[in-house]
Amino acid sequence: MEKYIINGGNRLYGKVAIQTAKNSVLPILAAAVLTDEEVCIKNVPHITDVKNMVKILSCLGCKAVFQGENLIINSSSADCFEIPSALAHELRSSVFLLGSVISRFKSAKIAYPGGCDIGLRPVDLHLTGLKRLGVDITESNGYILCKCDKLSGNEIMLDCPSVGATENIMLAAVKAEGETIIKNAAREPEIEDLQRFLNCIGARVSGAGSGTVVVEGVEKLSGGEFVPIPDRIEAGTFLVAAAMCGGEVELERVCPENLSSLLHKLRENGCKIYANGDKIILQSGKRLTSVKSIETQPYPGFPTDLQAQITALSCICKGQSIITENLFETRFKYVPELRKMGADITVINRSAFVRGVEKFKGATVIAHDLRGGAALVLAALAAEGRSEVLDISHIDRGYGAFEFKLRALGGDIVRIVV
């Protein structure tokens, strides 16, 4: 087990390069199963979720090898349609492989996926969409079993704009016969990125980023090279870190337009923000002012994956805030840990009522999930005194070289093996 030891109180100054998006890379890796030709995904972050996805690809018979920051995948030798339960339980995004594996083998077997414990994330929408494409599905003893003679295009209306279901249906439909129309599709930038990758290797997908995605089935896909978009959640985490600690931080390799909801809130807090091209500069000096209300929503609304970080910021702002989580029902598990550091928060149902305190106090806290763990690190960096953040394996799922980047900005943070 490993932990962070953090001495808080330092302002942050400098530049940080943002990694490619975890939530873009993972479905793209699943999509690589669809082609027999070699695929090169560039600038892939060395995070636990990616490493687990590579292990799953290897278990399917694919060859996946890192060459520096690039990941080379060759699926021509893929010969297995079962995703091991141990790995599926470690990685929520393993469910993306259902669409690509059923397309490749006309059969798929997967245990219910795992990942962070942030509430119910049912795969019903995924399965309903696959059934509309002609897949027979049975669920038994914790496994999802899929079979079909062929995949046929169809019109699919999602009950809600689920990112995972939209992407899974896209992957299954790429080589289906005929046209598939996904209505009430999610609009996240990562879905647009998956469309760009699929089209790069010969697919015919259009409409991603809107509420309707159209997939025209093709017989064969090719290889190619692809650079995923920057990680808007990592970028947002560093912006909030700079806002909390004070100083001036410049983000490089970032898409400001994908962060508009966060930038709007940080400006309301009192931060000075300058965005130009693929760079964002944030300046934070005096104690910031609370934003009265923040609600998580599907894109382009405020992202649920930045809810914990913005709540941590609200804890040390002047005034009061109400942060409402509309997507996942148990995503406030980090709140008792922030209370150990002096936060004044009351959670009622899906809302956190935050009364700002002057500063956090150092404490020993536990990371229960990826984004909540990141929020605790930010709180410790802004705190008075020494903190320990335990169980940081959750944080490693989504942030590559997190402590090195923070240390380069002036944060006093070290990783210790317990």
Structure tokens at 389: 């953040």
Say if residues 245 and 10 touch (Cβ distance below 8 Å): yes
Q: Please report, in angstroms and rounded to a whole number, the separation of the first and last CA atoms in the chain.
A: 6
Give dist(CA 152, CA 148) in Å, integer: 10
Strands 247-252 and 279-284, by their bridges, are: antiparallel
Query: Cβ contacts of residue 404 below 8 Å, gap of 6+?
Result: none
CA distance 161 to 211: 8
**Number of residues that make up the chain:** 418
116 labelled catalytic: yes
Q: Given 62, 116, 255, 317, which residue is catalytic?
A: 116
CA-nearest of 382, 383, 315 to 352 is 315
According to DSSP, the residues that pair with 353 across neighbouring strands are: 322, 346
Distance CA 101, CA 146 (A): 10
Show which residues are catalytic.
116
